[in-house]
Amino acid sequence: MLYANSEIIQMRKIYMRTIIIVVMTIFLACVVSAKEKATTKADKETDYLVLVNKQNKLPDEWEETIKLETVFDIDDDECIVEKEALLKYYELRDDLEKHDGVHIELDSCYRSVARQQELWDSWIIEYGEDYVKKYVAVPGFSEHHTGLAIDICIVKDGVVINDNDDMIAEKEIFSKIHEKLADYGFILRYLEGKEDITGYSYEPWHLRYVGSPDIAKEITEKGLTFEEYLESKEDSN
């Protein structure tokens, strides 16, 4: 079979184009998969079950394992939260607003060890040592260093309620909030009557993201503290 010169040129062009398309497709597929792998790897490194309390210090180089996002709190101050925890917090907030008429806002989020030291020093002057030791963590031993802990406040009839005692008095509103926490992967960290285990007084405002609704539900339904949950998992291993 004989082809005219122009036909051969045309066929060559089509052939070359096909090769270019195939090569480009393979290249793009490789780039996308490398990117996906990179994201998955970073996500895996975040230990959403990290335990930080009065006996357990924040792991070294913790900051390298988390992705932090900066937003604004109720006072329009910067509020830094771990990316996934923040996303889930917004879902929780929207759900409460839409279905329960409850309005929550961010009050305190991630704190570096240095910032905790500053707060510790200033609060001792303001509130005295006994009060601070009861409510505030020693720098390096605060769950707020993880980026996974959020202190919320409530807005009731347009008024911000963020004083500790005033919030504890708002039992009805907080019970509505607490009921929904696990659906979004959060637990109430400092339970009433478990002060001897957590080392902290009851704090209805302090939420902790644990990375999965299933784990949060297990902890909540069994009425466990985070310490008790982790211990039970260790025992069963």
Mind telling me the catalytic residues?
203
Q: Does position 73 bind Zn ion by CB under 5 A?
A: no
Binding mask 111-130 for Zn ion (x = CB under 5 A): --------------------
Please classify residue 206 by burial: count the beta carbons closer than 10 Å to its beta carbon, then call 0-12 exposed, 13-18 middle and 19+ buried. Answer: buried
- Chain-centre distance for alpha carbon 196: 25
How many residues bind Zn ion (CB under 5 A)? The answer is 2
**Which letter does DSSP use for residue 146 in this model?**
G
Provide, rounded to whole angstroms, the least separation between the CB of residue 172 and Zn ion.
21
- Does position 107 bind Zn ion by CB under 5 A? no
- Quote the least distance from Cβ 108 to Zn ion, whole Å: 6
The whole-angstrom separation of Cα 135 and Cα 39 is 37
Does an H or E element contain 153, and which? strand 149-156
What is the residue whose two structure tokens read 């909030």?
Answer: 177
Q: Is 206 in the site for Zn ion (CB under 5 A)?
A: yes
151 binding Zn ion? (CB under 5 A) = yes
Which part of the chain contacts Zn ion (CB under 5 A), choosing from 112-120, 143-151, 174-182, 209-217?
143-151
Nearer to Zn ion (CB atom), residue 117 or residue 232: 117
DSSP string, 40-55: HHHHHH--TT---SSS
**Min CB(118)–Zn ion separation in Å:** 16
Q: Which of 28, 66, 26, 69 is nearest to 48 (CA)?
A: 66
Nearer to Zn ion, 145 or 206 (CB): 206
- What residues line the site for Zn ion (CB under 5 A)? 151, 206
